[in-house]
Amino acid sequence: MAPAETASAAEPAASAASTQVATSTSGAAGAPAAAASDAEAMDADDDDDTDTAAKSAPAVLPPYDPLQPEAKVNLDNSAARSDLWHRVRDGFAIPDLDNAEVKVWEQWYSSRPDYVGRMTARGSKYLFHITQEVERRHMPTELALLPFTESAFNPQAMSVAKASGMWQFVSATGKDFDLKQNIFRDDRRDVLSSTRAALDYLQRLHDMFGDWRLALAAYNCGQGTVQRAIARNLKAGLPTDYESLSLPVETRQYVPKLQAVKNIVMHPDAYGLTLPPVGNHPYFLSVPIERDIDVDTAAKLANVPIDEFRMLNPQLDKPVILAAGTPQVLLPYDNADDFVRAVKSHQGALATWTAYVVGKTMRPADAAKAVGMSEAELREVNHIPARMLVKSGSTLLVPRSAQHIADVSVAVADSAAMALAPDLPPTRRVNMRIAKGGETVAAVAKRWHVSPTEVATWNHVKPTAKFAAGSTAVLFLPRSTSLARAPAHPAPTKAVANAPAGKAVVAKAPAAKTRVAQTPNARSGAHVAVSKAPRRTVVAHKAAGTPAKPVSKTKVAQP
């Protein structure tokens, strides 16, 4: 899918005491209506009452079909076991495309039977839900095959353009369609949410263009690209159908690729392929979650391998499921009731992790000490690189403690984020006047023992750029750096004019010095005026006493 996205100076580290743990006793929203439990009226701030609430509140409600929550689920309905492929074929409605590109993709898929087998096996988990949603919206069932071409039905797929999920949403477009993205979950990978968003988007594009091929093209390259292509053809008096438009190469292949998949689904034998049977019933059911629960615990209670659990719930980014942000989990058709019964009889805590909101910028070591875990574990579970500070307001995943056993609040579950800043020594801003002749970014960086990239960033230039003579270069240097005398250039040599042949007298030009003024408060960004230092003349004499050509030297005025 086409895309519809600087760090500030480091803040001082703070004491780990300025922190808070986000908690809530509110139940999850979005599940089918259920009777309120007595625990909802209890005071969340009272530890004893919280313990009672945690024990009495139901962790789950009965499973249901997410598209028909009011319908009773019959897990033993043998009539629902018929093949779904027939249903998909019956709903095809987009006119067929027959061109050379379609043949190329037919050959590509038919020559890779193992790949097609893996792809369809993955797709069998989600195809019923997508087909049912497509039919409910009266859309052509070819759209149910689109994840085959977008992601090979891999809900955890990530493209080089950072598009994510089986429907391949980039971050900005995902946000446009209410797909939440935070440190606990990424709804671009959520099976239910991403399917809803993708079909909403495709329906909008079809309403805009009135043609499913153009809608698919716009889904791939963006509606603006398709609109501009149509405008060009209208201006030139040319047709404006999909095949007549000048579109990006990938988009020119996009519809033919889907057509090839459609042809294979319609007649797999003609391509030497076999499609695995797919039951015409939900592969998964949705089970409402009322309490926070660890991912491993949920998979164990459902008797589902952890890999399959994550394939059905790929939006989960952390080892805990927050009921306030993820009000249901998807479980295989035959495991949903087992999970409900197992949770009811489970003894002990369901969740061993919680959220920790950092009150002030601090080092990971300080945060780890405050919550009673090792720095290495804190860094690993929260993906914190070395030499970074955790900024104020960030949310960290930490083990639960006896003092903090309530569930994470809705506010934190929905908007949790983590911001990092480089853990650098305190710096100050200095302005350096560039001497006559100019100087490259790399040369300035070398003199002050910083990287060219840093100098370029500070001055909004490229690392390969050159500062003009008389211009000012901005530097941010550690406060420990001595600015009494600027680092010296290598001393060049210069032949003295009028020396006899073979007896040239050479005067070394002393290293150029530059006066550097410093700002009292580097964070203020106040301008620092830098003036040229006084100059004096050094004269080298030949042996005969004739004065040589003067050589200039810059005298450094001490700040």
Decide if 106 is catalytic. Answer: no
Consecutive H or E run containing 553:
strand 551-554
β-strand partners of 475: 430
Cα 87 to Cα 39, 127, 473, 491: the distances in Å are 45, 11, 69, 83
**68 and 212 Cβ atoms separated by less than 8 Å:** no
What's the rounded Cα separation, in Å, for the pair 419 and 410? 20
**359 and 391 Cβ atoms separated by less than 8 Å:** no
What's the rounded Cα separation, in Å, for the pair 446 and 101? 54
Q: How much helix, strand and coil, in percent to the nearest 5, is found in the chain?
A: 35, 15, 45
Provide the 3-class DSSP secondary structure of residue 186: strand
Q: What angle do CA 65, 68, 72 make, to 5 degrees?
A: 70
Provide the 3-class DSSP secondary structure of residue 480: coil
**431 and 472 Cβ atoms separated by less than 8 Å:** yes
**Which candidate in 106, 133, 150, 439 is catalytic?**
150
Cα 373 to Cα 364, 445, 457, 458: the distances in Å are 11, 40, 37, 37
**368 and 375 Cβ atoms separated by less than 8 Å:** yes
Catalytic residues: 150
